[in-house]
Amino acid sequence: MLNRNTSDIYVVWTGFISADDFRNTMPRDVSARGGAGEEYAVNDIKTIGLIAHDARKRDLLDWLRFNVEKLAPHRMVCTGTTGRLVEEMFSEEFPAFSPDITRLKSGPLGGDQQMGALIAEGKLDVLIFLTDPMTTQPHDVDIKALVRLCAVYNVVIACNRATADFVVSSTLFDKPYDTVLHNYTAYLEREALENVMEG
């Protein structure tokens, strides 16, 4: 049971959990992606992040409906409103399925940063982020940060429905997969050296 006095509890009674409790439910160690240049295993059961801008939420739900049997065995992590819509869709239209769905905060209220933290900690395997290219978003910086983190940590990302279709239909989607992180050692050592020189 969650401690309601914890400062980062997100309305437990509507399906939100604390960031710490969510991280503790994940199968891989926080340091799974910590080693530069190291391989790490992506399990056959994936943890999939789902985000959609308001103009693309209908597209995301349609995509989920089309791929429901493929996606239901996997864990899903959604930002606020998207998560509510996904939960409602499964309970109303697909009651036979009971996927593991976790809701974070709304994107503009910190949900994008929470998703980014999961990427950096090795807790997310795939990010489906259907963006609206025609509308300026108030949290555009957070959106760019998510795309950048996926590149840094070699996480699969789809920003449109066609790419999402290719991802979910890949023969690798339901299998374990070994991926390799880029080796950032030289960058980290350079940064440490610059800090010493400036100090």
Q: How high is the pLDDT of residue 38?
A: 53
Q: How far apart are CA 87 and CA 92, in angstroms?
A: 9
Spatial contact of 110 and 142, defined as CB atoms under 8 Å apart: no
Q: How high is the pLDDT of residue 64?
A: 97
Q: Which sequence positions are flagged as catalytic?
A: 112
**Residues recorded for the chain:** 199
Work out the pLDDT band at 181, boundaries 50, 70, 90. Answer: confident
Q: How far apart are CA 59 and CA 116, in angstroms?
A: 23
Q: How high is the pLDDT of residue 107?
A: 86
Tell me the whole-structure pTM to 2 decimals.
0.76
The helix, strand and coil proportions of the chain, stated in percent and rounded to the nearest 5, come to 45, 15, 40
Strand runs (DSSP E) across the chain, as ranges?
39-42, 47-52, 75-78, 100-103, 126-130, 156-158, 177-180
Q: How high is the pLDDT of residue 81?
A: 93
Q: How high is the pLDDT of residue 141?
A: 80
Run of H or E residues at 86 = helix 80-93
Q: How far apart are CA 23 and CA 49, in angstroms?
A: 14
> What is the average per-residue pLDDT within 150-160?
95
* Residues 6 or more apart in contact with residue 31 via CB below 8 angstroms: 122
The domains of the chain, with CATH numbers, are 12-32+41-174+182-198 (3.40.50.1380)
Q: How high is the pLDDT of residue 185?
A: 79
Q: How far apart are CA 171 and CA 184, in angstroms?
A: 30
Q: How far apart are CA 145 and CA 183, in angstroms?
A: 20
Q: What is the pLDDT of residues 17-68, one digit of tens each?
A: 444 554 444 444 333 444 444 555 677 899 999 999 999 999 999 999 999 9
| Count of C-beta atoms within a 10 Å radius of residue 163 | 14
